[in-house]
A = this chain, B = another copy of it.
Amino acid sequence: MNYTSAEANILVQALPYIQRYYGKTIVIKYGGNAMIDEELKRSVCRDVVLMHFVGMKPILVHGGGPEISALMRRIGKEPEFINGLRVTDAETMEIVEMVLAGKTNKGIVAIINNIGGKAVGLSGKDANLIVADKAQTEVDLGYVGQVAKINPGILVDLLEHGYIPVVSSVAIGPNGESFNVNADHIAGEIAAAVGAAKLIMMTDVPGIYRDFSDKSTLISELTAAEAQRMIESKQIDKGMIPKVEACITALAGSVERAHIIDGTAPHALLVEIFTDTGIGTMIVP
């Protein structure tokens, strides 16, 4: 594209936002349809590379539900969920890990690098980034884990050298075994551990509604305490719960702002960052 004066003017309007986040770490939970649609994927990755080149330090965290079930079915294994959590026997865990760390993760890395970024894909096993314990659930779900500790050293080292870390939601257990951990939770824990300035959760809906059935009740800002109460009072939708929990975790660390946005909206990341009002729902401490 060749810029005209009018377009150049749009560039300089970005200056206050660029200055605000210069040198700051921003953790992005990448997920939903924005991770399925090829064109959307490329668009999100380009937004991330731009963030890097204007001085921010983005970290991407992703899961990858649909692709896991697809591969399971291809080898003749029916996915099974209890309370929204995947029943993860040893064979399933192996498939989860192959899909997340081998396919989804490297796919994102390849797109970013093709655009001109320098992405490095990590799973929670790399440098013991994400250490997990077996999740305590009513029914035994197998290799479903919960974060016990984040070792953020590898993220800090990579960011310092100008790399964009892309993290898949596989964790390492105390004996080196693999655990399937909710990617939303991982994003929140990582944001807290690296002291991110911002956590952005990409979903397929515009944000949190005071009344989910009434689209006019989208909440633009609420506090962590209010969010907690909404979870407890079941005002928050099931699929949204781990996302809001991740925000609360991050804010309990030193993260300043957490956002839930619709990742399928074009350039949602940039629109969120390059506006005063933001989009979606912002949760503050």
Contacts and interface: CB of A to CB of B under 8 A. Distances in A.
Interface of A: 1-5, 7-16, 18-19, 22, 43, 46-47, 49-50, 53-55, 71, 74-76, 94, 97-103, 105-106, 109-111, 113-116, 118-123, 125-128, 154, 157-158, 161, 163, 170, 172, 175-178, 265-268, 270-271, 274-277
22 contacts: A1-B13, A3-B14, A3-B267, A5-B266, A5-B267, A8-B266, A9-B266, A10-B10, A10-B11, A12-B47, A18-B53, A19-B53, A53-B55, A71-B75, A98-B99, A98-B102, A101-B102, A101-B121, A106-B126, A110-B176, A113-B176, A119-B126
Given A3-B275, A110-B125, A172-B113, A12 B50 contact: yes
A18 B46 CA distance: 13
A46 B18 CA distance: 13
Given A74-B75, A118-B127, A102 B110 contact: no
